[in-house]
Each structure stands twice: as structure tokens, then as C-alpha cells.
Amino acid sequence: MKLSVNGTPRDVDPSRSPTLLAALRDQLELTGAKLGCDHGECGACTVRLNGDLVYACLTLTAACDGAAVQTVEGLADGGTLHPLQQAFITHDAAQCGYCTPGQLLAAAALLDQRPHPTDDEIRTAMSGNLCRCGTYPKIVTAIRSVADASGASATRADAPPSATGDAP
């Protein structure tokens, strides 16, 4: 069956790799997405499937025929890091790095949908991605920096719910 992976047509055999995570790692040698819990709890395997975040460990390869998949390997633009990748480096948001690919894709999906999230919205959006090294504050700071750099000022975390929308 066929997938579009990071914009490139790829063939995978679902009989060899029942899960999308296995297909990406074992057949396509895209090892950015990681196997953590294997139970849909940690987010280490996060990829985007037709734009939506999914846990690749729980996603059946056979259900993905014709789908567009984005992995962390597809975030950079050639030799130029995605702004989130650079921000994670700048703000030291990765320690062991095992969770980082999933964190980056979750953050990218958030900023695609909501370019100027509050800190609370960042924490909520990232809640499906666990970090055993506990770099959560730095992850929020990194995402915050990209959101702030993209233009409009964002309303910060502690604002009342009625004031948490995008700045005009």
C-alpha cells in the first residue's frame, strides 16, 4: 500500500508492520518517532496523519492507505531547522531527547491551529506527550518563543477565560 511520507510517495507492507510506527521505523527507516509505552499513553510515537496528531503505536498501517504522514524528519526545510526545532535547542528543551520528536509534532500541530496560544493552551495541547526528564517548563518556553516571534502578542496563561483568545 502507498503512503505519502513527508511529501514523498512510499510503499509499505502492512503484513510486515501492523502498526504505523513499525512501518515507519522498520520499513522506511524513519526512526524519529519512538516506541515508548506502546499503549497510547506517552506520545513518544506521535506523528501527523492527514494533519491530525496520532499515536503511531496504536495506528494500524492497513488503515493508512493513501494517507499523508508527517514525521519529525519532515519538519526541517532542507538544511534549515523548523523554528520549533531551533527553539527547543535554544531553550534547552530536550534532555535525553526521547520524547522530543513527538513533542515537536504536537507543538507544530498546535501552532498550525492556534498560532498564538496562551501558556495554558500550550500545556493542554501538549498534555498527551510525556517527558520522563521533566523538561515541561522549557518546552512551554520554547513553544511560547515561536508563537511570540510569529507576530501578534499572545495573551498569557493566567488571563481569565474570557480573555484567552488571539490578540486582535
Q: What are the beta bridge partners of residue 48?
A: 53, 70
Per CB under 6 A, 38 contacts ligand FES: yes
Least distance from C-beta 19 to ligand FES, angstroms? 9
Q: What angle do CA 17, 32, 43 make, to 5 degrees?
A: 80
Q: Which residues, 139 to 168, sit near ligand FES by CB under 6 A? A: none
d(CA 159, CA 84): 25
Per CB under 6 A, 89 contacts ligand FES: no
- Burial of 130 per CB tally in 10 Å (0-12, 13-18, 19+): middle
Per CB under 6 A, 44 contacts ligand FES: yes
Q: Which helix (H) or strand (E) holds 137?
A: helix 136-149
d(CA 162, CA 156): 12
Least distance from C-beta 119 to ligand FES, angstroms? 19
d(CA 65, CA 162): 42
Least distance from C-beta 67 to ligand FES, angstroms? 17
Among 51, 97, 151, 165, binds ligand FES (CB under 6 A): 97
Nearer Cβ to ligand FES (2/132) = 132
Contacts to ligand FES by CB under 6 A = 35-38, 40-45, 55, 57, 94-100, 131-133, 135
